[in-house]
């Protein structure tokens, strides 16, 4: 009885998997005939595009505009999946993610998924320039004009002391998934500061807003494009200028962050079979101002991502017409 | 000094006073600390050998997933089946339409406990629509049902076995400990590695957390069935199987229903974290609200989780109790007829009403809540930062300095001595082993940082819990007002209240402590209240007639007699606080929690994150062993 039941289960399993050789994870590269759990459609003729949504609003803005065009101009169905970056990349391999619309560097992941696993490739720049840097609220730059030069930071270290910084000034860092050289920078530039890790983007946002409202000192890691610049006035602290290769050795970095060209990443399978949807994703390119406008509507004007995208699309016909596949 | 000793009564020489040993040990430890401070402190290294070894294991799985038979014929099928099961639940629930599902809940409520629960079911689920999160709620419900179904299918048989055999129970206990204390974040990445992203891996992650409690409660229930009944059944010639089916299971029925209830609650508490690996449902709204720093955006989803928890909790509890009170409720065909009528009414309504929950009925609570929170953030800031600074300067910083600058062997000696004194030799050795494990895993410094926040959080939790618990025990009115608030504090996803806490207290350890206290206080309050209520009325009467005042009654009678319950509360408080370590890592608490979060989000740090998860388990077991002995000893005086 028990054995019969087992046999039944296995037989059913084989039927579900649709192949006699066990259940393979559907890699984009080999594209075996393995079963897909329903609910995670693929970019096959059905016309579903799976877009990963990384957790920041600028990303959501880009994704919303692409999704709007895919749905309304090309007739695709779009599935959005909230994922952190690292996890989203893993989705290329299982076929659960087709597109990452805004990628910040991640050379280690590119090496793994482009070269070793061969399941993903870059679909070109988004047109957005990502700039990471150290910021203080504008009121501090007004009150202490020389604070925006890193050489003077030690002079003001006392201002930045908090209960967490152990007698030194505090440099607030964000989510652990972010690209950062801050520990090395503080050490190599001989700054009397301690890197305190907030642990999330929310920790940075709340601190920055309070720093403006309450006129409290704050030195923190931040980046553009970001909607926060529309709400809080910030001034960038100048570190020794970036030159190509100055950040090659992560332990010896003593220069500012370089400008990152943000790009789109797609699964190999989507590039091969995505048709018009892939063309659109590849052609997509806009400016930081475009993205900030949409992100600001989502973040501060209470619009849904869909409505904000629609508003931008209606106002910028010429731009997106050029992205549509011929 | 020596003169003072000489004037003491001579009996003290023959039998040293009770405080002498602890004080002497304390003095020795203090002397050790003062002379050896700063040596053998084991600073943190991101590239410690255990971290790298785990990374290698990860890479192996990653590259063998499609060739290894274990995956081809095992894991990958599990993934497919779970995905199918989830899809089936989702399809059925959506097919009912929102009026249909509300009707079904009403019918279930009626079956479980009459009109009041039928109304709760209808009102609660309709509220999910009014909050504007109907579709996400249905997906969350489907995910909870899938994981609870699997958790019970595996957990109940295991629980029954463990209940009937002490050997099985002993073998299972440590595994269950690990499953419950291991921070979910630490195994999210392995989940993705094994099961991909989406509903299947979210189901597995949820059921890992929900299953232990089902197993434990079932085992306890079966174990507690009176041995006389089993004896009688065996002597009448029943086989083991017959005894189980006809005697043990029916007698344990009510408690097993409690196991189901608890499994559902646990599954609901995983909703937000599972969203990080693309679990569909309410969790993703909350995650999105976090990246927008917008409380109003995530609050409807948060409230929906609380509402769903309350409805499911009351329904399953009532179903469990019904067996006893069956005579009171209407029974037989009429009962089912009414239930059927409610369900059919829902189905009919489904054909008449629009398929989507009408927009006009949705109450938008977001914007006003955001305004209120913003107002509070800016006007309370000065007070809250002052509180935070005082706590950090007086308590947190000194304690952390001491713990991180003490040589590791001295901390180990202190833990050994403390655990031995409080719980006895065996727990003391286990606690020591856990501590040494932390050192060997390369986690020493961060463990000490985490230990600091946990100790402070537990202290605050206990003080607050005692205060509220005593107040609730003395006044029924206060208890009635407090109860729903405690329910909400326990089921509301912590991320929802983290944002205002971040604004008020900044990215600091204090914020982490704040979040832990909110999460851990409810069970402590309940245990204390029940403990004091449990003191026999005769004793209270006797004390009162002997002329004690209210204060005397509390301090001399009720608190000492409720000691067992209070110590259990302390133990639970520790476990609950540890569960929040990772959340603390997201708001500036650093330590092990931050390592775990890092491991989840950075490829190269996976090993460190996973090992830090194991470290949290070790820390939890250590604290548990130090405190667990306390409630077995009736009182310190009895000790020889």
What pLDDT, on the 0 to 100 scale, is given for residue A199?
Answer: 76
Residues 75..104 of A with a Cβ closer than 8 Å to B: which?
81-87, 90-91, 94, 96-97
Confirm whether B45 is domain-assigned.
no
pLDDT means per 10 residues, chain B with 640 residues, are 44 62 80 75 75 82 73 78 90 87 88 86 90 91 93 90 87 85 79 81 88 86 80 84 80 78 85 82 84 81 91 85 55 74 78 76 78 81 85 85 85 88 86 91 89 90 91 86 83 81 84 89 86 82 84 82 78 81 80 85 82 89 79 39
- Integer Cα distance of A196 and A221 in angstroms: 10
Residues B342 and B453 in one domain: no
Q: Are residues B567 and B615 in the same domain?
A: yes
Last residue of a domain, one of A210, A225, A260: A260
Residue B60: count of CB within 10 angstroms of its CB: 11
Q: Is residue A22 a part of any domain in this protein?
A: no
Q: Are residues A122 and A268 in the same domain?
A: yes
Residues B374 and B339 in one domain: no
A247 and A298 belong to one structural domain: no
A20 is a domain residue: no
Number of domains chain A is built from:
2
Helix (H, G, I), strand (E, B) or coil at A51: strand
Residue B472 lies in a domain: yes
The predicted pLDDT at position A22 comes to: 55
Closest to B601 (Cβ–Cβ): which among A81, A84, A94?
A: A84
**Residue A147 is assigned to a structural domain of this protein:** yes
Tell whether A319 is within 8 A of chain B (Cβ).
no
Residues of B whose CB is below 8 A from A94: 196-197
Between positions 226 and 245 of A, the ones with CB within 8 A of B are: none
Same domain, A44 and A123: yes
Nearest residue to B309 via CA among B493, B496, B108, B136: B493
Same domain, B383 and B340: no
Three-state SS for A187-239 is HHCCCCEEEEECCCHHHHHHHHHHHHHCCCCCCEEEEECCHHHHCCCEEEEEC
Judgement on whether residues A120 and A143 belong to the same structural domain of the protein: no
Task: Identify whether residues A238 and A169 lie together within a single domain.
Answer: yes
CATH number at B461 reads: 1.10.3720.10
**Which distant-in-sequence residues (6+ apart) come within 8 Å of A270 by Cβ?**
A28, A43, A49, A98, A99, A277, A278
Say if B351 falls within a structural domain.
yes
Inter-residue contact B238 to B246 (CB < 8 Å):
yes
Residue B41 lies in a domain: no
Do A118 and A51 share a domain, yes or no?
yes
How many whole angstroms separate alpha carbon B470 and alpha carbon B459? 17
Three-state DSSP at B19 gives coil
- Report yes or no on A30 lying in a domain: no
Query: Are B342 and B394 found together in one domain?
Result: no
CATH number for the domain that contains residue A243: 3.40.190.100
- Cβ–Cβ below 8 Å for A37 and B198: yes
Q: How many CB atoms lie within 10 A of CB A106?
A: 20
> Based on the domain organization, do A162 and A70 belong to the same domain?
no
Specify whether B393 is located in the same domain as B531.
yes
* Domain end marker among A211, A232, A260: A260
The pLDDT assigned to B580 comes to: 82
pLDDT value, residue B16: 64
CA B600 to CA B106: how far, in whole Å? 41
How many Cβ atoms from other residues are within 10 Å of residue B149's Cβ?
A: 15
CB atoms closer than 10 angstroms to residue B605 = 22
Are residues B506 and A299, on separate chains, in Cβ contact within 8 Å? no
Residues 126-165, chain A: which have Cβ within 8 Å of B? 162-164
Residues in chain A: 326
Same domain, B348 and B395: no
A223 forms bridges with which residues in the sheet? Answer: A132
Q: Using the beta-carbon criterion (under 8 Å), do A210 and B377 form an inter-chain contact?
A: yes
The span from the CA of B182 to the CA of B50, in Å, is 17
Structural domain that includes position A301: 39-128+261-321
- Do A172 and A225 fall into the same domain? yes
Nearest chain B residue to A81 by CA distance is B278
Q: Which of B343, B359, B375 is the last residue of a domain?
A: B359
User: How many structural domains are present in chain B?
Assistant: 2
Instruction: Tell me the C-alpha distance between B551 and B535, whole Å.
Output: 16
Please return the burial class of B275, using the count of CB atoms within 10 Å of its CB with bins 0-12, 13-18 and 19+: buried
Residue where a domain stops, chosen among B334, B359, B384:
B359
- The rounded distance, in Å, linking the Cα atoms of A105 and A90 is 16
Residue at which a domain ends, from A237, A260, A283: A260
Interface check A22 vs B, CB under 8 A:
yes
Pair A295, A278 in one domain = yes
B258 backbone dihedrals φ, ψ, rounded to 5° = -65, -35
pLDDT per residue, tens digit, chain A (326 aa), is: 344 444 444 444 444 444 444 565 554 333 333 333 333 333 444 489 999 998 788 899 999 999 999 999 999 999 888 888 888 898 898 888 999 999 988 888 898 899 988 999 999 999 998 889 999 999 999 999 999 999 999 999 999 988 888 889 999 988 777 778 888 899 999 999 999 888 778 888 888 988 998 898 999 999 888 888 888 899 999 999 998 888 888 788 889 988 888 999 999 999 999 889 999 999 999 998 899 899 988 888 878 899 999 999 999 999 999 999 87
Angle, alpha carbons A140-A144-A147 (nearest 5°)? 85
Question: B197 and A209: CB-CB below 8 Å?
Answer: no
Which domain-ending residue is among B324, B359, B394? B359
Supply the range of the domain harboring residue B613. Answer: 364-634
Contact A199 B587 (CB under 8 A): yes
- Residues of A within 8 A of B393 (CB-CB) are 163
Residue found under tokens 């990502």: A130
Does residue A197 sit in the same domain as residue A314?
no
Is residue B187 included in any domain, yes or no? yes
User: For residues B514 and B499, is the Cβ–Cβ distance under 8 A?
Assistant: no
Which helix (H) or strand (E) element contains residue A80? strand A77-82
Answer yes or no: do B344 and B395 share one domain: no
Separation of alpha carbons B470 and B553, rounded Å: 12
Exposed/middle/buried for residue B395 (C-beta within 10 Å: 0-12, 13-18, 19+)? middle
pTM: 0.79
Same domain flag for A76 and A176: no
Do A48 and A42 contact (CB within 8 A), yes or no? yes
Quote the pLDDT of residue B432: 93
B97 and B114 within one domain: yes
Cβ atoms within 10 Å of B5's Cβ, excluding its own: 9
Query: How confident is the model at residue B15, as a pLDDT?
Result: 63
A2 found inside a domain: no
Which residues 269-288 of chain B have a CB within 8 Å of chain A?
A: 275-278, 280, 284, 287-288
Examine residue A243 and state whether it is found in any structural domain, yes or no: yes
**B65 touches A: beta carbon within 8 Å:** yes
Give chain B's radius of gyration (CA, Å): 27
* Domain match, B415 and B296 both: no
CA-nearest residue to A201 within chain B is B291
ipTM over 0.90: no
CATH number at residue A68: 3.40.190.10
Given this model, what pLDDT does residue B56 score? 83
Q: What is the pLDDT of residue A203?
A: 84
Q: Look at B393 and A201 and tell me if their CB atoms are within 8 Å.
A: no
Q: Within a domain: residue A205?
A: yes
Q: Please tell me whether residues B495 and B583 are part of one structural domain.
A: yes
Q: How far apart are CA A128 and CA A225, in angstroms?
A: 8
Q: Which of chain B's residues have a Cβ under 8 Å away from the Cβ of A201?
A: 290-291, 293
Kindly state whether residue B84 falls inside one of the protein's structural domains: yes
Task: Tell me whether residue B2 is in a domain.
Answer: no
Same domain, A72 and A139: no
Q: Are residues B420 and B354 in the same domain?
A: no
Matching residue, tokens 């449990």: B534
pLDDT at A12: 44
| Residue B67 in domain | no
3-state class (DSSP) for residue A171: strand
The answer to whether position A228 is within a domain reads yes
Diameter of chain A by CA atoms? 83
């Amino acid at each position: 009885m028990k054995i019969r039941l087992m046999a039944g289960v296995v037989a059913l399993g084989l039927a579900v998997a649709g192949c006699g050789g066990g259940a393979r994870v559907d890699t984009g590269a080999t594209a075996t005939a393995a079963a897909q759990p329903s609910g995670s459609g693929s970019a096959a003729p059905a016309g579903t595009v799976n877009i990963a949504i990384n957790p920041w609003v600028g990303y959501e803005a880009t994704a919303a505009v692409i999704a709007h065009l895919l749905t309304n101009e090309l007739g695709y169905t779009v599935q959005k999946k909230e994922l952190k970056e690292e996890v989203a990349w893993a989705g290329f391999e299982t076929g659960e993610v087709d597109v990452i619309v805004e990628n910040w560097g991640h050379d280690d992941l590119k090496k793994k998924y482009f070269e070793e696993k061969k399941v993903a490739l870059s679909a070109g720049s988004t047109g957005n320039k990502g700039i990471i840097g150290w910021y203080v609220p504008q009121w501090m730059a007004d009150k202490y004009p020389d604070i925006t030069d890193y050489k003077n930071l030690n002079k003001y270290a006392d201002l930045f002391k908090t209960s967490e910084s152990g007698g030194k000034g505090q440099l607030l860092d964000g989510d652990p998934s972010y690209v950062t050289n801050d520990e090395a920078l503080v050490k190599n530039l001989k700054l009397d500061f301690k890197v305190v890790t907030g642990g999330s983007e929310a920790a940075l946002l709340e601190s920055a807003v309070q720093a403006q409202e309450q006129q409290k000192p704050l030195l923190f890691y931040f980046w553009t494009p970001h909607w926060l610049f529309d709400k809080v006035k910030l001034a960038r602290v100048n570190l020794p200028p970036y030159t190509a290769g100055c950040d090659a050795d992560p332990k010896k970095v003593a220069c500012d962050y370089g400008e990152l060209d943000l790009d789109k990443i797609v699964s190999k399978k989507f590039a091969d079979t995505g048709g018009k949807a892939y063309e659109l994703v590849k052609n997509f390119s806009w400016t930081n101002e475009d993205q900030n406008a949409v992100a600001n509507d989502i973040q501060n004007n209470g619009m849904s991502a869909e409505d904000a995208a629609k508003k931008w699309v209606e106002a910028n016909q010429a731009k997106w017409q050029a992205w549509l596949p011929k | 000094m020596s003169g003072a000793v000489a004037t003491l009564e001579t009996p003290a020489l023959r039998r040293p006073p009770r405080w002498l040993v602890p004080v002497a040990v304390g003095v020795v430890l203090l002397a050790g600390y003062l002379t050896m401070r700063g040596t053998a402190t084991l600073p943190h290294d991101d590239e410690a050998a255990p971290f790298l070894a785990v990374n290698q294991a990860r890479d192996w799985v990653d590259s063998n997933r499609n060739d290894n038979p274990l995956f081809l014929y095992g894991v990958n099928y599990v993934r497919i089946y779970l995905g199918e099961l989830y899809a089936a639940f989702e399809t059925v629930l959506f097919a009912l339409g929102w009026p249909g599902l509300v009707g079904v809940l009403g019918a279930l409520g009626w079956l479980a406990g009459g009109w009041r629960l039928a109304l709760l079911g209808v009102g609660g689920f309709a509220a999910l629509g009014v909050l504007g999160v109907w579709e996400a709620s249905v997906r969350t419900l489907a995910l909870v049902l899938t994981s609870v179904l699997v958790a019970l299918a595996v957990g109940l048989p295991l629980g029954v076995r463990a209940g009937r055999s002490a050997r099985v129970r002993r073998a299972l206990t440590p595994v269950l400990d690990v499953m419950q204390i291991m921070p979910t974040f630490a195994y999210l990445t392995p989940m993705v590695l094994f099961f991909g992203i989406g509903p299947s891996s979210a189901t597995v992650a949820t059921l890992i957390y929900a299953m232990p409690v089902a197993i434990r409660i079932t085992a306890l229930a079966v174990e507690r069935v009176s041995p006389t009944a089993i004896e009688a059944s065996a002597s009448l010639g029943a086989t083991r199987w017959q005894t189980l089916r006809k005697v043990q299971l029916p007698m344990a029925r009510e408690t097993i229903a409690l196991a189901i209830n608890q499994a559902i609650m646990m599954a609901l508490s995983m909703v937000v974290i599972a969203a990080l690996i693309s679990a569909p449902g309410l969790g993703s709204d909350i995650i999105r609200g976090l990246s927008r720093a917008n409380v109003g955006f995530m609050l409807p989803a948060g409230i929906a989780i609380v509402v769903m928890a309350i409805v499911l909790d009351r329904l399953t509890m009532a179903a469990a109790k019904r067996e006893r009170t069956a005579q009171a409720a209407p029974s037989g065909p009429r009962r089912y007829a009414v239930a059927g009528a409610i369900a059919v009414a829902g189905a009919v309504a489904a054909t008449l009403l629009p398929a989507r929950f009408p927009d006009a009925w949705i109450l938008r609570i977001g914007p006003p809540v955001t305004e209120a929170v913003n107002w509070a953030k800016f006007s309370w800031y000065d007070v809250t930062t002052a509180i935070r600074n005082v706590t950090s300067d007086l308590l947190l910083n000194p304690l952390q300095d001491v713990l991180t600058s003490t040589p590791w062997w001295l901390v180990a000696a202190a833990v050994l001595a403390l655990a031995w004194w409080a719980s006895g030799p065996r727990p003391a050795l286990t606690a020591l082993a856990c501590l040494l494990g932390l050192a060997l895993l390369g986690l020493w410094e961060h463990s000490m940082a985490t230990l600091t926040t946990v100790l402070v959080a537990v202290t605050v939790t206990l003080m607050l819990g005692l205060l509220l618990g005593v107040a609730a025990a003395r006044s029924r009115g206060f208890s009635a007002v407090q109860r729903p608030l405690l329910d909400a504090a326990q089921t509301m996803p912590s991320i929802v209240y983290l944002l205002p806490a971040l604004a008020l207290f900044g990215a600091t350890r204090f914020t982490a402590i704040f979040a832990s206290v909110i999460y851990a206080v409810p069970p402590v309050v309940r245990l204390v209240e029940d403990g004091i209520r449990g003191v026999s009325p005769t004793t209270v009467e006797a004390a009162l007639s002997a002329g004690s005042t209210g204060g005397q009654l509390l301090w001399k009678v009720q608190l000492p007699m409720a000691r067992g319950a209070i110590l259990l509360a302390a133990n639970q408080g520790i476990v609950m606080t540890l569960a929040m370590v990772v959340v603390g890592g997201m708001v500036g608490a650093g330590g092990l929690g931050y390592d775990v979060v890092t491991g989840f989000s950075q490829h190269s740090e996976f090993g460190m994150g996973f090992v830090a998860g194991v470290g949290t388990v070790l820390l939890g077991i250590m604290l548990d062993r130090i405190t667990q002995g306390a409630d077995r000893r009736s009182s310190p005086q009895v000790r020889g």
